[in-house]
Amino acid sequence: QQQVRQSPQSLTVWEGETAILNCSYENSAFDYFPWYQQFPGEGPALLISILSVSDKKEDGRFTIFFNKREKKLSLHIADSQPGDSATYFCAASNSGTYQRFGTGTKLQVVP
Amino acid sequence: GPKVLQIPSHQIIDMGQMVTLNCDPVSNHLYFYWYKQILGQQMEFLVNFYNGKVMEKSKLFKDQFSVERPDGSYFTLKIQPTALEDSAVYFCASSLDRADSDYTFGSGTRLLVI
């Protein structure tokens, strides 16, 4: 079964806008949530991550908001740039087990 | 930053033949992984490996699959025999100390079984 879900499947925003990518999960034992950025022809690269003890994590233009009760999180990309156009994966893991990846959101930033 | 190298980048093979995918993980990393990705879609976990042993594997890790890392050499994924449905991009990853810590991925091996 799909343990980590992402929406929307694809998203188009104008340059300068804030892109919001959503993620939800089923297993309440998950406690570590990395987000990866993948460009065509490349492997995923870690962008930002959060532990379940926090409800927010910021790194420059990238912010994760985490709601443990609802088992949801979101990645906000402020001041989106054309270079941010990529596929973004949310992942989840717990207690030393492997990371489960979501279905991905393909982001396009239009100049 | 540190990189994971995957060799080859592309491989075309006849169905039923054997293929070996090679991965050179980050030098001080201890955990190694293989994931399968079809058509840029979801990354599906295959297997993870630590201290010379398979730690976890998924249903996708069929009996035809095997992994090993002989001392100081590549972490390999071997498929024998290959099937048409094995066509995908295979990504190797490594992490420093725990299976839930930050992963470094390679650029993938694009495998086409014909």
Contact at 8 Å (CB) between A93 and B99? yes
Q: Is B25 helix (H, G, I), strand (E, B) or coil?
A: coil
β-strand pairing of A105-110 with A10-14: parallel
Q: Which two tokens stand for residue A19?
A: 């892109």
The CA distance from A101 to A5, in Å, is: 8
CB A56 within 8 A of CB A76: no
Q: What is the pLDDT of residues B75-108, one digit of tens each?
A: 999 999 999 999 999 999 999 877 667 899 999 9
Residues of the domain holding B62 = 5-113
3-state secondary structure of B85: helix
CATH assignment of the domain containing B80: 2.60.40.10
pLDDT digits (tens, 9 = 90+) for A2-60: 799 999 999 999 999 999 999 999 999 999 999 999 999 999 999 999 999 999 999 99
Contacts of B33 in chain A (CB under 8 A): 98
Which of B43, B57, B96, B104 has the most A C-beta neighbours within 10 Å, making it the best mutation to test the interface with A? Answer: B43
Amino acid identity at B50: Y
Q: Are B46 and B60 in contact (CB under 8 A)?
A: yes
Contacts of B44 in chain A (CB under 8 A): 101
Q: Which domains does chain A have, with CATH numbers?
A: 4-110 (2.60.40.10)
Per the structure, how many domains does chain B have? 1
